A and B are shown apart, each in its own frame.
Chain A
Amino acid sequence: MIVAQRKSIPDLLEIIKNHKKILVLGCGTCVTVCLAGGQREVGIIASALRMAAKLKDLPLEVEELTIERQCDNVFIEQAAEAIERNDAVLSFGCGAGVQAVAERYTSKPVYAGLDTAFIGILEERGVWTEKCAACGACVLHQYGGICPVTRCAKHMLNGPCSSSREDRCEVDPKRQCAWQLIYKRLKEIGQLDRLKETKPPKNRRLGQDGGYRTIIREDHRI
């Protein structure tokens, strides 16, 4: 899922400072699961913004709405009336959600209330970890299901870097060395020979190099 966290209340106030009526728009999918922009968080943020504005004597009306998915037109439509009656939208979707809403309602300013951070998982209660950098050419099969692109601080495809300490990464001892994990996992599944192959450099053009990426499925186009 996409993992994000909320901006601070002073930052949010600064972002919406020129508006008197705003819609705080939540998203019921990824950011609900990572406790950043779902219905509950929208309620808390709306309360906080109302109080903060009040303390600063700013006239501010805040409406709350959470739709199922902000990155999907079918659901964005459901916010039409609420967006119409407000001056601006403070979206609590991920970066994609914010832009999808903004593209759909071009006459209203749409702002991001969250800092979208990464694609990751819930590691334990209250802890999310990045697992995938969306590189565009997945190599997980070669590394026992542990992504060196994302989880090795040096993104090494032919690791380890020789500076790991015990099972810790030299860059940050709080993190596990991805290559230690890769080695252990490959050993466990009897595929250590995969490490004998030298992997060529990755084609970075499939990643974020050169602008945004598009996937076209002709078989699904109409």
Chain B
Amino acid sequence: MKPEVFEPKIVAFCCHYCAYSSADLAGSMRIQYPPNVRIIRTPCTGRLETEYFMKAFEKGADGVLVAGCLEGGCHFVEGNLCAKRRVNYTKDMLEEIGMEKERLRMVNISAAMARPLADAIIDMVETVRKLGPSPIRQKGSLKQENRL
């Protein structure tokens, strides 16, 4: 019997104007990408804050991919640059926690870049596959927190 291959669960935050459109285009062009990603559409990656990434990891995501417009090509001018700084901040925090910072990645994709988006997803899935399952998920689901 073949050993079971680890299939990572990856949350992909895609901005509406570029990355999400390129995912649509990939569909129209019948370009395949691995089903490991769960795409969440955001109006702009600038909408994303550190807590979004942290919550994704806390709930057990093996990896988080942030896909925004090309630098200089953001529909909201510089939302993707804000996102880049927040991704970097969160990576540092992941290291402080003791998680591999490679589990979080930002890529820049224009609406016409269906193939590069698929490649970015494939690459992310392979990176996380090599890292193995999220240590958070491996240790069982977290107790529901009391938020007041």
Q: Which A residues are closer than 8 A to B by beta carbons? A: 8-10, 40, 43-44, 46-48, 50-52, 54-57, 61-65, 82
Contacts and interface: CB of A to CB of B under 8 A. Distances in A.
Contact of A54 (B50, B136, B145): B136
A64 to B, nearest CB: 5
Contact of B97 (A9, A61, A65): A9
Interface stretch (B12-20, B36-44, B53-61, B113-121): B53-61
B49 A63 contact: no
B112 to A, nearest CB: 32
A30 to B, nearest CB: 20
Contact of B96 (A9, A56, A63, A82): A9
6 closest A-B pairs by beta carbon, nearest first, are A9-B96, A47-B54, A52-B97, A63-B146, A65-B148, A55-B98
Given A9-B93, A56-B98, A82-B148, A51 B136 contact: yes
B142 interface: yes
Contacts of A54: 135-136, 139, 142
A48 B97 contact: yes
Contacts, number: 60
A107 B96 CA distance: 31
B2 interface: no
Interface string B106-148: 0000000000000000000000000000011001001101111
A61 B146 CA distance: 9
Interface of B: 49-51, 54-55, 57-58, 93, 96-99, 135-136, 139, 142-143, 145-148
Nearest to B146: A63
Contacts of B97: 9, 48, 51-52, 55
A52 B148 contact: no
A61 B58 CA distance: 13
24 contacts: A9-B96, A9-B97, A43-B54, A44-B50, A44-B51, A46-B145, A47-B54, A47-B58, A48-B54, A48-B93, A48-B97, A50-B58, A50-B142, A51-B136, A52-B98, A54-B135, A54-B136, A55-B135, A56-B98, A57-B139, A62-B145, A64-B145, A64-B147, A65-B148
A10 B54 CA distance: 17
A10 B49 CA distance: 22
A55 B99 contact: yes
Contacts of A51: 54, 57-58, 97, 99, 136, 142
B98 A40 contact: no
Q: Kindly name the residue among A10, A40, A44, A64 whose own CB sees the greatest number of chain B CB atoms within 10 A.
A: A44
Contacts of A82: 148
Contacts of B96: 8-10, 48, 52
A40 B51 CA distance: 8
B136 A40 contact: no
B55 A47 contact: yes
Contacts of B135: 54-55
B51 A55 contact: no
A29 to B, nearest CB: 18
A64 B54 contact: no
Given A40-B49, A44-B50, 15 more contacts: A9-B97, A10-B96, A43-B147, A44-B54, A51-B58, A52-B98, A54-B136, A54-B139, A55-B99, A55-B135, A56-B98, A63-B146, A64-B145, A64-B147, A65-B148
Nearest to B59: A47
Contacts of B142: 50-51, 54
